[in-house]
A = this chain, B = another copy of it.
Amino acid sequence: MAGEGIARSTSMTFSSQLRIPGPTPLPERVVRSMSRPMVDHRGPEFSAILAEITAGAKRVFKTSSDLLFLTSSGTGGLESAVANLVSPGDEVVVALCGNFGERFAALASAYGADVVRLEFEWGQPVDAEDLALVLEKHPKAKLLLLTHNETSTGLTNPLRELARVGRDAGRVVVVDGVSSISSIEIETDGWGIDVAVSGSQKGWMAPPGLALVSVSERAWEMQSRARAPRYYFDWKEAKTWADKGMTPFTTAVSVAFALQEGIRMLEEEGLAKVYERHARLARATQAGLQALGFKLFARDGFRSNTVTAALPPEGLNVEPFRKLLHDRYGVVIAGGQNKMAGKMVRVGHLGAVGEGDIVQVLWAMEQALEEMDIAPADGRGVAAVTSSLQGVPA
């Protein structure tokens, strides 16, 4: 039986497999980029970096709008959208189907918005027809908040359709693309998205610390009238300074070094190939998990290319399983969030991840399942991954 003969009580790993949906592992080139000496955030060296990452990020977002960098997590980027676009009392439509949609709604509420919730069960996508009806019923809601990739359920919403519904109804469309942009296809301008938000620690292959935010002309127009308090996250300030090659406040400079290298790597590989790699690895992960008796959580056809959420096989206690993977195999996967805490595993496969990484993760899972007396480690997981990668139907 595979796995026998391995000293079970001792960790055999010299490196770790960070397979959570962000922060993602840093490629060696990115790590090295952070070794360059610190620079003045108001000097010419930083201006050159800011110009390069701005231009590069715009190509990845596929936008000709302004692209702003904020020193914060992705959530800070989402908050900036709310703080810049909402006035207290405004009706705002939030379409949600998971924990990050809930976060977007909570943000809007915190800023005094009257939130109209279009809610779907966890694991189900937002429905475009239902969205159209809600927008019709709420003509005063000028703002629509969407989640592209719902990290908590491993689901990718049909953003192209949803954004079109919003644009057709004349709404300003804001998209949480934190865990999708740079890994999953998006066309910010082409799909009618006014504001898109991402985070450096996802597909960009850099550490956490920078949020990326694109702002369309329509969003600027709305921003000029919105009256929520804002200072640190004020887009106008960010734009004024960006036009001078700077940021209003001290940027996370070392993260900018890393992001510069991450974007270079994305463009060397080519975005189409990056998307294809993520899709291929997602299919392999799904096949492997199913072979091991896990049940994929997101509805078929809407499963994410950056993170796979799955319910455990009968009898498997998720948290000890994750702990064993961590302690014994150096494999770090995520658990469930909120109401799914302790009930779900989530495997991240975004950023600097290759075929062998998926093999290693599924192999370790298979060993751990045997060790926990759930199922024999007979090679099914790795075989399913291999078949998937070879394009052989499982």
Contact = CB atoms under 8 A, between A and B. Distances in A.
Interface of A: 15-16, 18, 20, 22-26, 31, 34-35, 37-44, 71-76, 79, 82-83, 106-107, 110-112, 199, 201, 207-209, 228-232, 249-255, 258, 326, 332, 334
Nearest to A231: B110
Copy total for this chain: 2
A34 B249 contact: no
A18 B45 CA distance: 12
Contacts of A258: 254
B71 A73 contact: yes
B73 A43 contact: no
A129 B82 CA distance: 42
30 contacts: A18-B37, A18-B38, A20-B42, A22-B250, A23-B253, A34-B35, A38-B201, A39-B332, A40-B332, A40-B334, A43-B326, A44-B326, A71-B73, A72-B72, A72-B76, A72-B249, A73-B250, A73-B252, A74-B250, A75-B232, A82-B231, A106-B231, A112-B229, A207-B252, A209-B209, A209-B252, A209-B255, A229-B229, A252-B252, A254-B255
B40 A199 contact: no
B15 A38 contact: no
A interface, over-half SS: loop
A258 to B, nearest CB: 8
Candidate in A34, A42, A75, A231 with the most chain B CB atoms within 10 angstroms: A231
A209 B251 CA distance: 7
A40 B15 contact: no
Contacts of A252: 73, 207-209, 252, 255
A208 B41 contact: yes
B39 A18 contact: yes
A249 B255 CA distance: 17
Contacts of A41: 23, 208
